[in-house]
Amino acid sequence: MAAAVAGPGEEAAGPDPEPRGSIRRHLARLGALRPLPGSDREGESGRRTELHLLFDQLISENCGPGAPGPTGAPSPQDICALLVQACQLVHLNQEHLVNKVCQLIHHLLNRFQVVVDEKNLDFLLSYSISALKQCSSWTHTEILQALTALVYNNGPNCQKYLPDLLGKSGLLVQFSDLAQPDVELRRAAVHSMANLCLSVPGQPYLDESYRSLCFQTFLSVLQSSKTSDVDDITFCMLLQNALKGIQSLLNGGKMKLMQTDQLGSLLAVLKKCMFYGLPGLNVEMPAVLYPAPLPQYDGRSPVKPEQSELSTVKQTGTRRKKSKGKQKKGQLGEEVKEELESDVGGGAIHGMNIFQLHSGNAQSSPCLDPWNRTLDAAYMLAGKDHLSCYPSWKRISSSESEYSDAEGGIQSKMRSYQAKVRQGALACFLSTIKSIEKKVLYGYWSAFVPDTPGIGSPQSVSLMTIALKDPSPKTRACALQVLSTTLEGSKQFLSVAEDAHDHKRAFTPFSVTIASSIRELHRCLLLALVAESSSQTLTQIIKCLANLVSNAPYSRLKPGLLTRVWNQIKPYIRHKDVNVRVSSLTLLGAVVSAQAPSPEVQLLLQQPSSSGLSNSGTAAPRRVSSSEWWRKAPPSQGEPTDNWESSSSEPCWLIRLCISTVVQPREDSYSDSDTSFTASMVYEPSPVRLESLQVLALLVKGYFSVAQSYLLELGEVACKCMEETDPSIQLHGAKLLEELGTGIVQQHKSDSTIAVNEKVPVNLVVTFWTMMLNGPLPGALQNAQHPTLQTSACDALSSILPEAFGSLRDVMFVADTANAILNSLQDKSPNVRAKAAWSLGNLTDTLIVNMEMIGQSFQEEFSDLLLLKMLRSATEASKDKDKVKSNAVRALGNLLHFLQPYHIVKPRFSETIKESIQALISAVQSEATMKVRWNACYALGNVFKNPALPLGEAPWTAQAYSALTSVVKSCKNFKVRIKSAMALSIPSQRECYGTTEQFSQIWSALVIALQKSEDTEDFLEFKYSASLRTQICQALIHLLSLANSTDLPFIRKTIAENGDVIRSYVLQYMKSGVEEDEAGIHTNSHERDRLLKRAIEHICGIEELSAGKAKVVVAAYLEDILTNHINSTELTEA
């Protein structure tokens, strides 16, 4: 049960270089002692002396945990047993020994990182609590320190002692009270309370009453002010322990900050602690921060002294001139930095301005333990610091900064503890963010995120103040991590920002305020990027920029922000630290995916390859086989390209860079900070290659017109990646392939606005996919050890251009593709089966396209056995989970549409056809998701399009129509109703509708559906009601144009009963403008007039054959509707 128990402020000593045999001897001596009889006065005196000596020797031993053995550290079980033995030897009236044994408990548990087992914990806790109750107050601090070590990670095992510790008059409650004069005792009590709040996975947590009491205690501590008689370091440790306690409560998952005052109090103190001891700043906050749509405490406008609830900023120091460190050749010029500094204000970093904030009394806020692993992970991302190409923090900080002065050990230690308070506050804010909804968090946006200061107003303090001014790189990294987490998922909140047009109003709209904040974030982060020297903090800056870029609405902002980000990140792509390189690529990926395609980014991608780079160049080679000239020199101007269709004189340097990073050997001169990447490895470290592949995929997705010049080359990259052994590289290669296929398909869509000569030629597409099929793609589809790769390979197959199949079938491409997909349909992974079903649906879509384009010859050349296998597999998949079923039924509809008469008459097909159609009927009638039912209705419509199927005669006809008529009348989802109405209007012959009774049931169902087209309990469905009526009216008119004399009696009866309702809806349909129905067919008023006239002519011809004028009813009814519509149209036009 070994675990770390060192708390805030406790430094765990390293292992002693000397053998550990001495401490084991001391422990053995202690274990050999036995309690003396009560009457042995003389022996008791000697025993006290012996115990004092033995305890002192054990405490003074400077050794740490080690492997068990003759010279190793004792086991946790031995430690616990000996501590129990020590307590049994010391009576509570022996206060000096009690004090000493508590020091021993604290020392050994921390030194050997032991969590006490439940049995021994019971005795030791009972002993400690009794000692607190019975011993003098001078012993209490040491007893509490022992208690702190005992309860660490043991909260669930302390339940029966909680009333004594945390009850209304509990010991920890008393000792942690603000009235407690002994601050060291109060600190020890708060530390014990914080350790009790630590959650243990899988174990019960503190009851709500105890959680609330602890939270209020910690909050009160953080709200308190340091008095002059309190030691600075002790007060820092007190704050750290309180922050650790609140962070533990939040991370435990049970503490919900539901009340505005509670959260506001927390955030107010949180902000105060973020700046605790920061040189040059003294921050005071209001007691509570309240959410507001506009900045509330930014100090941008003057306030009267009595307005204590508002924050003002008073400058108490003078600004120093900007000091400029030397820059190496090839790095960002001074003019770039000066431009940035002018945006933020002169001396924003170089001169540590002193601000005084007055905002009322400070209150509390939660914070993380500065030793928390989350923070360490955030900071220690890439090992030790490396010198960056920009000035160090010591050079750019003010010479007056306390942190830069050569001072004594005590002051240096105090600064270190103050920095840990700031780190704890920031980490605690991180836990707070994760415990509340983002929409709640964004109410406090202006309190933590910078905004452009008003004219003549100083800059308000924010997270960026820490990122720019804190002398500790770890604290700067913490602030950036908090800001980055705040920006995650902020797209909806930031989407209101707008400053593309100058506003001329008496007030500043909220949209402009948010836009101003976004611009200020860009300025500050880019300034921090230029100034930062720590690789770990630099990584956090770039990650923060990536989150900002991913969520900002650039289309609503004045252009130029992305250009500045783009140009300033280029030098970091070749940074010596691997994590900086990875995050730089992540940022570039965010830029190329930011509301793509963006005209601004389009221009950036077409920039000369050397633009914004040092003389060493960072452009990648155009061909996979090229040498890494991009690392040595940019191409000479006008150098010809060897790509098949390069339309630009300048190749895309980003594509070149990423291709080279993925496939070219790395340079030997690289010295990555991450020791897991050896200098002798062939390629760049895997994270760099993966991020490069991700950038390529995003670039192809958003800017295919730029990437298409590299189609075959990118295909080679995808093949090479899929042939590697690293599953992640394989997966990203398959994803790149999918995006390339999707880009080609989008270009060749019928509604594409791209000129024919600018599209990828079909013969090149054939070459591309032939290369893929002859490469690693089939193997990826059959890789059962990597289901995710199978899924991605299925996605890639689904993106094949339909027009290419006519040529590809010469190499059996269709058959090989289909077989690969069918194998994946049998996979044990539901995700793989779902993707395979999606790919099968897309493949069968292409079968229909080729059938319509090429004709019967294509159908005849397609393998009967393969077609039968596809039908059976799709039928079986239609019984799978809904996410598989939805595409399986789509594939069934296409396959049944594809069948030819000679297929249908074959015995081995007939039974499979029946099962397939029955599967579609079941899917329509099922309680599955609406997507499944929608696709099933669509599939039945496809079945009805095949004249070779015996629709109207086969037994399944009645079942199919019954399922569709039931759905069109009563399905809750209007889009499913629309699709069922469309399917009912597809058969082109009266015989397809079966008997008169069957025809009458369909007619009746459509009339009922028309009457119920506005009946819905879901308001979201109401918007589809007009489309539903349009589709139903089209179906009714279609039925009228096919009806025979035996159908007319029922139609007359329906008109007699519901004629007025039908007339009103048909007139609405006739008057409506140009619409696109669910089948994608555009219909206008002239087309509708023609369809109605044709129905009238058909009905009139039938009725004229009937005896007597009384029989001419339906035609007259329809003519009346048409006349009414024509008169209304003429009146409107007049």
| Mean predicted confidence (pLDDT) in 1103-1129 | 77
Say whether pLDDT at 830 is over 50. yes
Distances (CA, A) of 748 to 769, 773, 794, 804: 16, 21, 21, 11
**Helix/strand/coil percent split, the chain, to 5:** 60, 0, 35
| Mean predicted confidence (pLDDT) in 404-423 | 81
The 8-class DSSP code of residue 460 comes to P
Which pLDDT score, from 0 to 100, does residue 633 have? 31
Which pLDDT score, from 0 to 100, does residue 615 have? 33
Which two tokens mark 906? Answer: 């074959």
Which two tokens mark 433? Answer: 């963010």
| Mean predicted confidence (pLDDT) in 456-485 | 90
In 10 A of CB 265, how many CB atoms? 24
Say whether pLDDT at 544 is over 50. yes
Helix (H) or strand (E) holding 773: helix 762-773
Whole-number mean pLDDT of the chain? Answer: 79
Which pLDDT score, from 0 to 100, does residue 659 have? 95
Instruction: Encode 1039-1067 in three state secondary structure.
Output: HHCCCCCCCHHHHHHHHHHHHHHHHHHHH
Q: Find tokens 């008469």 and name the residue.
A: 901
Nearest Cα to 245, choosing from 64, 367, 104?
Answer: 367
| Mean predicted confidence (pLDDT) in 136-153 | 95
Distances (CA, A) of 1118 to 1000, 1037, 1040, 1051, 1062: 18, 10, 10, 12, 10
Q: How far is CA 579 from the centre of its chain?
A: 20
Q: Tell me, what amino acid is at 744?
A: I
In 10 A of CB 498, how many CB atoms? 18
| Mean predicted confidence (pLDDT) in 146-165 | 93
CA–CA separation, 307 vs 360, rounded Å? Answer: 9
97: left (phi over 0), alpha (psi -120 to 50) or beta: alpha
Backbone angles phi, psi at 283, to 5 degrees: -105, 130
- For 441-453, the pLDDT digits (tens) are 999 998 999 887 6
Helix (H) or strand (E) holding 1076: strand 1075-1076
CA–CA separation, 569 vs 577, rounded Å? Answer: 14
Strand pairing partners for 283? 357
Band of residue 261 on the pLDDT scale cut at 50, 70, 90:
confident
Q: Tell me, what amino acid is at 292?
A: A
Instruction: Encode 950-1012 in three state secondary structure.
Output: CCCCCCHHHHHHHHHHHHHHHCCCHHHHHHHHHHHCCCCCHHHHCCHHHHHHHHHHHHHHHHC
Q: Tell me, what amino acid is at 613?
A: L
More confident call, 141 vs 752: 141
CA–CA separation, 1004 vs 235, rounded Å? Answer: 83
CA–CA separation, 507 vs 301, rounded Å? Answer: 14
Which pLDDT score, from 0 to 100, does residue 150 have? 96
- For 216-257, the pLDDT digits (tens) are 999 999 999 988 889 999 999 999 999 999 999 998 866 677
Q: How far is CA 333 from the centre of its chain?
A: 36
Which two tokens mark 378? Answer: 């955030």
Best-predicted range by mean pLDDT (123-132, 274-283, 499-508, 808-817): 123-132
Exposed e or buried b for every residue in 594-622, given b needs 16+ CB within 10 A?
beeebebbeebbbbebbebbbeebbbbbb
Q: Which range (79-93, 646-660, 716-730, 947-961) has the least confidence?
A: 646-660
Residues whose CB falls within 8 Å of the CB of residue 975, separated by 6 or more in sequence, listed in order: 930, 934, 1024
H-assigned helices in 436-534: 438-441, 445-448, 463-469, 473-487, 491-494, 510-531
CA–CA separation, 63 vs 61, rounded Å? Answer: 6
| Mean predicted confidence (pLDDT) in 708-718 | 95
Helix (H) or strand (E) holding 356: strand 355-358
- For 968-1015, the pLDDT digits (tens) are 998 888 899 999 999 999 999 999 999 999 999 999 999 999 988 877
In 10 A of CB 877, how many CB atoms? 25
Which pLDDT score, from 0 to 100, does residue 21 have? 54
Instruction: Encode 13-50 in three state secondary structure.
Output: CCCCCCCCHHHHHHHHHHHHCCCCCCCCHHHHHHHHHH
Cβ 628 vs Cβ 660: under 8 Å? yes
How many Å from the N-terminal Cα to the C-terminal Cα in the chain?
91
Q: Which range (276-290, 672-686, 876-890, 919-933) has the least confidence?
A: 672-686
- For 1073-1091, the pLDDT digits (tens) are 545 444 444 567 788 888 8
Which pLDDT score, from 0 to 100, does residue 645 have? 40
More confident call, 1100 vs 527: 527
CA–CA separation, 316 vs 308, rounded Å? Answer: 19
- For 546-594, the pLDDT digits (tens) are 999 999 999 999 999 999 999 999 999 999 999 999 999 999 999 999 9
State how beta strands 281-283 and 355-358 pair.
parallel
| Mean predicted confidence (pLDDT) in 794-813 | 69
Which pLDDT score, from 0 to 100, does residue 504 have? 65
Which pLDDT score, from 0 to 100, does residue 67 have? 41
Cβ 878 vs Cβ 888: under 8 Å? yes
Distances (CA, A) of 58 to 23, 66, 72: 6, 16, 15
The 8-class DSSP code of residue 402 comes to G
489: left (phi over 0), alpha (psi -120 to 50) or beta: left
Say whether pLDDT at 114 is over 70. yes
Cβ 988 vs Cβ 1029: under 8 Å? no
Nearest Cα to 141, choosing from 112, 183, 173, 109?
Answer: 183
CA–CA separation, 523 vs 354, rounded Å? Answer: 21
Say whether pLDDT at 341 is over 80. no
Say whether pLDDT at 48 is over 80. yes
Q: Which range (192-196, 294-298, 884-888) has the least confidence?
A: 294-298
Which two tokens mark 1016? Answer: 């819905």
| Mean predicted confidence (pLDDT) in 85-91 | 91
